[in-house]
C-alpha cells in the first residue's frame, strides 16, 4: 500500500475521511429532495386529472357520448396512472437509497471513529516510549558525569600526601559507587533503547500501516457504495418506463379512437327537431286591384307568433328555422320539458320515465326484502319484532305510490308529444311554437285518449258560455281533430280565449265549435269577461 507514506498525516486523513462522509450525506439529501419532488409532482398530476374529470349530472358527463370526450376521459385516467408511477419512483428512492445510505452513514461514522481511536492510541504509546527513552538517556548521561567527577576527586585525594588514608578510601568508594550507578544507567538506557526501537518499528511498519489500510478499505467501500446508489438511482427511473410507456400508449390509443363522423352523427341525433322543413313562400301580388293579405310585415324568419302575430297568406306561412333560434327557456325549463323541440322532448320524457321506473323497482326490491324479513321475525320472534318493520313498509308503499303518480304524469306528457307534433306539423303556419303550454298539450292528449272518448261522445258535456265575438281575417281549413274551419270575414262566438298556446276556441252554432289560430281572427272580448282584451 502507498498509505505508509502518510505516517504523519493523521490530521489530513481525518479531514479527508470527514469530507467523504459529508459527500455521502450531501448525496443522500439530493436523493431525498428528488423523492419529494416526485411526490409533489404526482400529487399535482393527480389533482389535475381529478380537476378535469366530468362532474356528475353535468354537461361534461353528458358529452361523454362523443368519442373525443371519451378519449379525453381515457387520457385523464392514463394520466392518473402515470402519476402513480412517479409515486413508485419516490417510494423506491426512499427504500432503496435514502434509508440504506442513512443506515450506512451511521456504520461509516462508527468505523471511522474506531480507526482513528486506534491510531491515536498507538501514537500516544510510541510517544510515551520515546519519553521513557529520553529520560533514561539523560539519567545515564548525568551518572556518567558524576562518575567522572568522583574518579577525578579520588585521584587527587590519592596523590595528596596530606590526606589521610581514611579520606582516600572514602573517595575511592564514592568513585566506585558512581561508576556502578553509571553502569546501571547505561544498562537501563540500553534496555529502553532496544524496547523503543522495537516498538517504533512495530508502530511504523505494522500498527500504523494496518490502521491506514483499514481507512483505505473504508474509503473504497464508501466510494463503491455511492456508485451503487447512483446506479440504483437510474434503475429506479428505468423500472417504471414500461408502465409509463403503456400509459402513453393508452393516451395515443385514446386519441386514435376519436371518430369525427360518429360525433357529428351524435350531434344530429341529439338536436334533430322532428320537423319537416317549411314549405315554399307563395308570391303575393300587391298590384292594382289586389288587396294586401298581411297586416304586419314579416321581415324576420325567426319572428315568433308571440312577437309579431304573423298573418299567413293562403293558409301558409314561414316556419321557424329551429337551428338558428335560441331557446327562450334556457336552463332547467318546465318539468314536462314542453320548452324543447318535439324530438328532444320525447327523449327527455322517456329518460325521465325510465329513471322513475328504476326508482320504483328499487323501492319494490326493498319492500320485498323487508316483507321477507318480517316473515322471518314472525316465525322466529327472538330474532326481532315484526312490528318494527311496518313503518318502513308504509314509507316504501307511499314512495312507490308517489313515483307511480309521477310516471303516469310523464306518460301523459309523452303521449301528448305525439299529438302536439302532428298538430304542429299540420298547423296553419306550419311551425311549432315554443309557447305551447303543457296544459293545452295534456288537454289535447287526454281528449284523444281512448278512455275519454265516451265522455266527449256523450253529448252531455256542459256548454261553455260565450265570452266575446271574433271576426276571421283569414281563411282557415281545420283539418285536425279539435279544430274548426272558418272563412275570411266570418263572425263567430268566442268561448275560450287564447291561453298562450296560439289558439282560440270559438263556436259557430250549438253543434259546431273548435280551435282556430289566434293570429287568424280579430277577437272582441266582452267588457265583463275575465281578462278582457282585443287581439289585433
User: Averaged over 386-394, what is the pLDDT?
Assistant: 87
CB count in 10 Å sphere of residue 405: 11
Strands in 521-525's sheet, in edge-to-edge order, are: 513-517, 503-507, 491-496, 468-472, 521-525, 534-535
Three-class HEC string of 74-99? HHHHHHHHHHHHHHHHHHHHHHHHHH
Average pLDDT over the chain, rounded to whole?
A: 79
Q: Please answer whether residues 185 and 147 qualify as being in contact, where contact means their C-beta atoms are separated by less than 8 angstroms.
A: no
- Note whether residue 386 is domain-resident: yes
Would the pTM count as exceeding 0.95?
A: no
Residues 64 and 212 in one domain: yes
Is residue 8 packed enough to be buried (19+ CB in 10 Å), middle (13-18) or exposed (0-12)? exposed
> In this predicted structure, what is the pLDDT of residue 463?
73
Same domain, 367 and 228: no
315 or 282, greater pLDDT: 282
List, for residues 360-378, the tens digit of each pLDDT value: 999 899 888 888 888 888 8
Instruction: DSSP letter for 57, please.
Output: T
What are 452's three cell numbers? 275519454
Domain final residue pick, 263, 297, 329: 263
| pLDDT tops 70 at residue 6 | no
Question: What is the predicted pLDDT for the residue at 266?
Answer: 81
Does residue 7 carry a pLDDT above 70?
Answer: no
User: What's the total number of domains in the chain?
Assistant: 3
Under DSSP, is residue 522 helix (H, G, I), strand (E, B) or coil?
strand
**246 in a domain, yes or no?**
yes
On whether residue 330 sits in a domain, the answer given is no
Burial profile 389-400: b = 16 or more Cβ within 10 angstroms, e = fewer: beeeeeebeebb
Q: Give residue-wise pLDDT tens across range 9-27.
A: 778 888 999 999 999 999 9
53-62 residue pLDDT tens: 888 777 766 7
Closest CA to 509 of 499, 523, 495, 520: 495
> Do 385 and 509 reside in the same domain of the chain?
no
State residue 108's pLDDT score: 96
pLDDT at residue 117, as a whole number? 93
Per-residue pLDDT at 83 exceeds 90: yes
DSSP 287-316: STT-----SS----TT--HHHH----BTTB
Tell me, what's the pLDDT at 429? 46
Q: Do 229 and 99 form a contact (C-beta atoms < 8 A)?
A: no
pLDDT in tens, 94-120: 999 999 999 999 999 999 999 999 998
Mean pLDDT is lowest, of 99-113, 207-221, 419-433, for 419-433
Query: What CATH number is associated with residue 519?
Result: 2.30.30.40
Question: What is the DSSP annotation of 322-364?
Answer: GGG---TT-SS--TT-TTS-HHHHHHHHHHHHHHHHHHHHHHH
**CA–CA separation, 331 and 458 (whole Å):** 43
- Residue 357: is its pLDDT beyond 50? yes
Which has more confidence, 213 or 163?
213
Same domain, 413 and 521: no
Higher-confidence residue: 81 or 464?
A: 81
Confidence band of 444 (pLDDT split at 50, 70, 90) = very low
Compute, in degrees rounded to 10, the torsion defined by CA atoms 294, 296, 299, 304.
-110
Confidence of residue 346 (pLDDT cuts 50, 70, 90): confident
For residue 323, being part of any structural domain is answered with no
State the Cα–Cα distance between residues 187 and 13, nearest whole angstrom: 40
Confidence tier at 86 by pLDDT (50, 70, 90): very high
β-bridge mates for residue 493, sequence order: 469, 507
User: Can you tell me the mean pLDDT for 376-385?
Assistant: 84
Distance CA 47, CA 27 (A): 30
Read off the pLDDT of each residue in 438-442 and give the average, rounded to a whole number.
42
d(CA 226, CA 516): 95
How many other CB atoms are there within 10 angstroms of residue 412's CB atom?
Answer: 18
Least confident among 146-150, 218-222, 292-296: 292-296
Q: Which of 158-162, 457-461, 464-468 has the lowest mean pLDDT?
A: 457-461
Q: Say whether both 76 and 200 belong to one domain.
A: yes
Largest CA distance in the chain: 194
Amino acid 163: pLDDT: 84
The model's pLDDT over 60-70, given as tens digits with 9 standing for 90+, comes to: 667 778 899 98
What is the pLDDT at residue 344?
Answer: 67
**pLDDT exceeds 50 at position 324:** no
Q: Tell me, what CATH number does 177's domain have?
A: 1.20.1270.60
123, 231: one domain: yes
Q: In 3-state terms, what secondary structure has residue 493?
A: strand
Q: Which residues contact 5 (CB under 8 A, 6 or more apart)?
A: none
How many Å apart are CA 526 and CA 497, to the nearest integer?
A: 11
Q: Where are the alpha helices (DSSP H) in 426-526?
A: 438-447, 453-457
Whether residue 443 has pLDDT greater than 60: no
**Residue 505 to residues 221, 295, 342, 497, Cα–Cα distance (Å):** 104, 22, 24, 6
Q: Percent of the chain, pLDDT > 90?
A: 43
Q: Is residue 437 part of a domain?
A: no
Here the cell at position 107 is 456504520
Q: Which residue has the cell 304586419?
A: 296
CA distance linking residue 28 with residue 479, whole number of Å = 90
Residue 8 pLDDT: 58
DSSP string over 113-132: HHHHHHHHHHHHHHHHHHHH
Q: What is the Cα–Cα distance from 55 to 62, expressed in whole angstroms?
A: 10
Do 89 and 200 fall into the same domain?
Answer: yes
Write out the H or E segment, with its range, that includes residue 174: helix 165-202
Query: What are the Cα distances from residue 282, in Å, to 279, 286, 305, 317?
Result: 9, 13, 19, 9
166-181 in b/e burial notation, b at 16+ Cβ within 10 A? Answer: eebeebbebbeebbeb
Identify the residue with better confidence: 160 or 272. 160
pLDDT over 80 at 420, yes or no: no
Residue 290 has pLDDT above 80, yes or no: no
Which pLDDT value is given to residue 87? 96
Q: Which of 239, 263, 287 is the last residue of a domain?
A: 263
Contacts of 480 by beta carbon, 8 Å cutoff, 6+ apart:
422, 423, 426, 427
- Has residue 428 got a pLDDT over 70? no
Q: Give the domain range for residue 163.
A: 3-263
pLDDT bracket for residue 289 (50, 70, 90): low
- Asked if residue 156 and residue 81 are part of one domain, the reply reads yes
| Residue where one domain finishes, among candidates 365, 393, 423 | 423
- Is the same domain home to 150 and 65? yes
Question: According to the model, what pLDDT value does residue 339 have?
Answer: 57
- H or E element that contains 390: helix 390-425
DSSP state of 501: S
Chain segment 149-182, per-residue pLDDT in tens = 999 999 998 888 888 889 889 999 999 999 999 9
Q: Is 525 helix (H, G, I), strand (E, B) or coil?
A: strand
Number of residues that make up the chain:
536
Residue 32 — left, alpha, or beta (φ > 0 → left; ψ -120 to 50 → alpha)?
A: alpha
pLDDT for 259 equals: 92
The DSSP secondary-structure symbol of 65 reads: G
Same domain, 472 and 381: no
Q: Specify if 31 maps to a domain.
A: yes
The pLDDT of residue 408: 83
State whether residue 161 is helix, strand or coil. Answer: coil
Cβ-contact 143, 181 below 8 angstroms: yes
pLDDT in tens, 129-143: 999 999 999 999 999
Assess if residue 271 is contained within a domain: no
pLDDT band at 4 (very low <50, low <70, confident <90, very high): very low
**Would you call 427 helix, strand, or coil by DSSP?**
coil
408 and 490 share a domain? no
Asked if residue 290 is part of any domain, the answer here is no
Per-residue confidence band for 206, with pLDDT thresholds at 50, 70 and 90: very high
Q: Are 311 and 473 in contact (CB under 8 A)?
A: yes
Amino acid at each position: 500500500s502507498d498509505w505508509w507514506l502518510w505516517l504523519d498525516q493523521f490530521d489530513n486523513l481525518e479531514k479527508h475521511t470527514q469530507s467523504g462522509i459529508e459527500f455521502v450525506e450531501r448525496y443522500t439529501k439530493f436523493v431525498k429532495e428528488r423523492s419529494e419532488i416526485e411526490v409533489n409532482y404526482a400529487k399535482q398530476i393527480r389533482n389535475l386529472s381529478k380537476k378535469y374529470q366530468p362532474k356528475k349530472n353535468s354537461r361534461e358527463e353528458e358529452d361523454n357520448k362523443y368519442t373525443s370526450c371519451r378519449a379525453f376521459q381515457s387520457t385523464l385516467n392514463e394520466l392518473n396512472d402515470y402519476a402513480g408511477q412517479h409515486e413508485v419512483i419516490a417510494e423506491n428512492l426512499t427504500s432503496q437509497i435514502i434509508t440504506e445510505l442513512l443506515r450506512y452513514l451511521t456504520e461509516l461514522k462508527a468505523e471511522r471513529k474506531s480507526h482513528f481511536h486506534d491510531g491515536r492510541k498507538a501514537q500516544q504509546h510510541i510517544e510515551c516510549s520515546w519519553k521513557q527513552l529520553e529520560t533514561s538517556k539523560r539519567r545515564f548521561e548525568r551518572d556518567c558525569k558524576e562518575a567522572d567527577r568522583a574518579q577525578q576527586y579520588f585521584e587527587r585525594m590519592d596523590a595528596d600526601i596530606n590526606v589521610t588514608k581514611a579520606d582516600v578510601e572514602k573517595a575511592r568508594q564514592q568513585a566506585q559507587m558512581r561508576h556502578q550507578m553509571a553502569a546501571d544507567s547505561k544498562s537501563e538506557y540500553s534496555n529502553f533503547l532496544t524496547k523503543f526501537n522495537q516498538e517504533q518499528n512495530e508502530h511504523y511498519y505494522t500498527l500504523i500501516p494496518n490502521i491506514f489500510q483499514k481507512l483505505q478499505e473504508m474509503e473504497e467501500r464508501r466510494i463503491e457504495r455511492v456508485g451503487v446508489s447512483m446506479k440504483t438511482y437510474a434503475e429506479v427511473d428505468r423500472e417504471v418506463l414500461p408502465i409509463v410507456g403503456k400509459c402513453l400508449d393508452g393516451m395515443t390509443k385514446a386519441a386514435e379512437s376519436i371518430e369525427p363522423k360518429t360525433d357529428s352523427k351524435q350531434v344530429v341525433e341529439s338536436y334533430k327537431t322532428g320537423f319537416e322543413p317549411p314549405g315554399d313562400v307563395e308570391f303575393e301580388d300587391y298590384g292594382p286591384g289586389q288587396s294586401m293579405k298581411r297586416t304586419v310585415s314579416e321581415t324576420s324568419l325567426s319572428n315568433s307568433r308571440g312577437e309579431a302575430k304573423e298573418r299567413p297568406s293562403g293558409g301558409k306561412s314561414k316556419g321557424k328555422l329551429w337551428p338558428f333560434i335560441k331557446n327562450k327557456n334556457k336552463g332547467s325549463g318546465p318539468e314536462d320539458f314542453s320548452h324543447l323541440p318535439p324530438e328532444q322532448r320525447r327523449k327527455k320524457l322517456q329518460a325521465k320515465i325510465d329513471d322513475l321506473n328504476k326508482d320504483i323497482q328499487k323501492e319494490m326490491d326493498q319492500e320485498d326484502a323487508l316483507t321477507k324479513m318480517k316473515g322471518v321475525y314472525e316465525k322466529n320472534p327472538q330474532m326481532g319484532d315484526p312490528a318494527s318493520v311496518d313503518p318502513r313498509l308504509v314509507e316504501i308503499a307511499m314512495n312507490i305510490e308517489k313515483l307511480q303518480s309521477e310516471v303516469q304524469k310523464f306518460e301523459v306528457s309523452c303521449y301528448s308529444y305525439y299529438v302536439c307534433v302532428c298538430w304542429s306539423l299540420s298547423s296553419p303556419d306550419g311551425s311549432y311554437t315554443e309557447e305551447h303550454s303543457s296544459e293545452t298539450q295534456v288537454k289535447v292528449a287526454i281528449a284523444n285518449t281512448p278512455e275519454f272518448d265516451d265522455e266527449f261522445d256523450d253529448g252531455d258535456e256542459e256548454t261553455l258560455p260565450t265570452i266575446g265575438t271574433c271576426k276571421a281575417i283569414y281563411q282557415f281549413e281545420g283539418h285536425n281533430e279539435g279544430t274548426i274551419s272558418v272563412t275570411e270575414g266570418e263572425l263567430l262566438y268566442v268561448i275560450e280565449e287564447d291561453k298562450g298556446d296560439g289558439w282560440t276556441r270559438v263556436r259557430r252554432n250549438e253543434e259546431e265549435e273548435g280551435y282556430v289560430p289566434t293570429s287568424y281572427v280579430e277577437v272582441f272580448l266582452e267588457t265583463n269577461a275575465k281578462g278582457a282584451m282585443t287581439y289585433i
